[in-house]
Chain A
Amino acid sequence: MTPVKLYPPKPEKVYFFGTCLVDLFYPEAGLDGIRLLEREGIEVIFPEDQTCCGQPAYTSGYQQEARAVAVAQLGLFPESWPIIVPSGSCGGMMRVHYPQLFAGTEHERRATEVAGRIYELTEFLIHVCHLALEDRGGPEKVAMHTSCSARREMGLADTGPALLAKLGQVELVEQVRATECCGFGGTFAVRHPEVSAAMVDDKTRAIEAAGASRFVTSDCGCLMNIDGRFSHQKKGIEGEHIASYLWRRTS
């Protein structure tokens, strides 16, 4: 549990750390995140040499490999601007685990400094940009799945719903067991596929039962998992990253 963060005034510039899943599978979500920030008058710097935060290796126990990859990211943010990450899971890795990962190493100070500048995208839009949105879309019932890392590691259970609440035509529906994990868990879905499948099946049932015609999430791992389940069932309930949803309805 991270302590309550004191939020700075809206800066002129931010760094954007896209994450590897967004880079490879959901680049539009990343770009929409950038567009939302730019629309607030913020210049977005996208360090070209970014790759991955290191989390997959970290949670698999491959500490050295994770550290090597994380070190490569530490050098990408030389100025003191905030670093925006469109994922609670990668954000949590960088904010919470980087200082642990580098504790007692020569990189500890820099890791802690970088960690202190990490913001998850929805967090930044709500608490720093105080985003105002003009909804241009039609009426729609939407479910939100907040990732476990955003919810528990970063303490951001409310930022996604708060953004959706700014869309006048959107009704956020309540799912049962909304706080329960969707079953992705990175390599968990690969190592324990049957348990993971049971979890995502329950999650899609809950979203469907809530009457949502669409779901949004702030994490592309959850998106890949839940959306993959829905489309396998040909349910017609679509998922997208919250950044894309916000951009699409307000641009």
Chain B
Amino acid sequence: MSVETYTPQAFHRQAHDALGSPQIRSNFRKAMDGLMSKRRDVFSDWDLEALRELGANIRLRALARLPELLERLEANCEASGIKVHWAEDGEEACRIIRELCEARGAKSVIKGKSMVSEEMHLNAHLEAAGIEALESDLGEYLVQLNEQTPSHIIMPAIHLNTDEISTIMHDKTGLARTRDVDVMTAAARAQLRERFMSADIGISGVNFAVAETGTLCLVENEGNGRMTTTVPPVHIAVTGIEKVVEHLRDVPPLYALLTRSATGQHVTTYFNMISSPRKRGEHDGPEEVHLVLVDNGRSSIYQDDELLDTLRCIRCGACMNHCPVYTRVGGHTYGTTYPGPIGSILMPHMLGLEQTKDLPTASSLCGACGEVCPVKIPIPDLLVRLRREAVGEGRGNVPGAGVKRTKKEVAAWKGWQWLATHPSAWRGGTAIVGKLQALTPSKLGPWTECRTAPRPAKRSLHALVKRHQAGKDKSDAEKSAANHVIKKGKDEEERS
């Protein structure tokens, strides 16, 4: 199987391919339908609005005090023996981690799930340095075996169905073909247990980093996160600088929101809170724990009051689960580490609008993402903001701002503006359009590939209201009711 590469520049082509794949369509539809209904059920006995309000409020408070909290987190971690590192970008974070590996003479790394490590392409970096990095989350493991990237931030292998996974397990690990999920899971358990025991270093992400106590919280179901952070002699946690929260008491509401929003679970199997390396007298756990804090564009997002909301995200994936676009095109189509609505408001900051200009428009602004976001990020508003930045009408503080501004489009909008601010010209225009109704094209580019073209009415509302006010439409009204169906049928005939 060849390495599949997806890029945000190729969004349209990738969307075309995904839409044409019955496999992709049905895998995602089925999975997203299930996730939406589970989420709805699990929140049914909650005051969801109050909980979301609290979640948003906790995240906003953390951001409001971000520099101070990062320093407290660092001080409290260091006091209990967790070494803290800072990285400006993914490259620097990769270098820090590689050097930590080299200092230990590490040859093999086992990884718990970490989207930040995906964001910085850590595996490729380590492998180039001769260090093997193996994913241990089952979904990540399968995706890695298949030489792909995750298609969902919580369920990385959601684009694959049982048969496809059976083939991957067969081709890559020699497992006899089976559709039995328990057999496949047991095989992966056996394969990965060997690697946990022999790994030199475990690398994980962090869901919440608590400043008050210097605690790293990891949310998971499988136990691979606990394995990764307990079995190897060194644990390196890597996370974005925005993941910090102020107090330990801030954690329960966010955890409650995260699991319910992500997978509709009232709780995950494990909530793993790490506050120090193995202490004297303790018998297991890593001797060294490192925390790598990665900026990678986050401090730039932080500068702007409106964009700031992006950083409230707790990476639950509910926005993609509820996105009608994501559901149809799947995660790989976006060509970015974070797909779906959150990706479309986050990735432009990381990659620049030159590469990601099609992402903010890949939304009908239906608002489903914002409606379910557990920390109330106004995702549709942020999509519009990035559209503004892309056409050069924002604040210019997103990389690649203005890249989509073309003379042709500006002229079109200026023309529209002129017409819509000159009422008599508008009325004249709509009247003319109505008179020329019969000449309207029945083909309107892609619109009419699956729909008939809308046809301007003979008389505009402005004209109808005039007649109405003059009392001339009394008979029209009666006719209109009776003729509705007939008239419509005739229209169809005339046009075809």
Contact = CB atoms under 8 A, between A and B. Distances in A.
Whether chain A touches chain B in the assembled complex (some CB pair under 8 Å): yes
Contacts of A224: 454
B5 interface: no
B328 A200 contact: no
A25 B450 contact: no
Contacts of B453: 228
Contact of A197 (B421, B449, B452, B492): B449
A50 B367 contact: no
Contacts of B465: 18, 30-31, 34, 46
Nearest to A229: B451
Contact of A248 (B384, B389, B481): B481
Interface in B453-496: 453-457, 459-465, 468-469, 473, 477, 480-481, 484-485, 488, 492
A65 B417 contact: yes
B19 A198 contact: yes
Range class of the B interface residue count: 35 or more
A24 B437 CA distance: 11
B445 to A, nearest CB: 7
Interface in A21-47: 22-28, 30-31, 34-35, 46
B368 A148 contact: yes
Interface stretch (B208-216, B225-233, B310-318, B357-365): B357-365
B388 A61 contact: yes
A153 B371 CA distance: 9
Nearest to B16: A194
Interface in B361-405: 361-368, 370-371, 381, 384, 386-391, 393-394, 404
A189 interface: yes
Interface in B410-439: 410, 413-414, 416-417, 419-421, 423, 426-427, 430, 433
Interface in A154-184: 177, 179-181, 183-184
B364 A148 contact: yes
Nearest to A21: B454
Contacts of A50: 423
A228 B416 contact: no
B328 to A, nearest CB: 5
Contact of A185 (B15, B364, B370, B473): B364
B361 A23 contact: no
B46 interface: no
Contact of B389 (A30, A61, A247): A61
Given A51-B419, A51-B423, A25 B454 contact: yes
Describe B's contact surface by its main secondary structure.
Answer: helix
Interface in A63-113: 63-65, 68-69, 72, 100
Nearest to A26: B457
Nearest to B324: A181
A192 B357 CA distance: 13
A40 B19 CA distance: 48
Nearest to A248: B481
A63 B328 contact: no
B63 interface: no
Contact of A57 (B417, B451, B461): B417
Nearest to A153: B367
A13 B456 CA distance: 30
A52 B419 CA distance: 10
A217 to B, nearest CB: 14
A5 interface: no
B348 to A, nearest CB: 12
A210 to B, nearest CB: 17
Contacts of A22: 461
Contacts of A200: 450-451
A57 B413 contact: yes
A153 B379 CA distance: 12
Interface in B310-360: 324-325, 328-329, 358
A209 interface: no
B387 A61 contact: yes
B446 interface: yes
Interface of A: 1, 18, 20, 22-28, 30-31, 34-35, 46, 48-52, 54, 56-65, 68-69, 72, 100, 148-149, 151-153, 177, 179-181, 183-201, 224-225, 228-229, 231-232, 234, 238, 240, 244, 247-248, 251
Given A27-B464, A240-B484, 5 more contacts: A31-B461, A31-B464, A48-B427, A183-B324, A195-B329
24 contacts: A1-B371, A22-B461, A24-B456, A25-B454, A51-B419, A51-B421, A59-B387, A61-B394, A69-B420, A152-B367, A152-B368, A179-B368, A180-B368, A181-B324, A188-B361, A190-B445, A191-B358, A191-B361, A199-B364, A228-B447, A228-B454, A229-B450, A240-B484, A251-B481
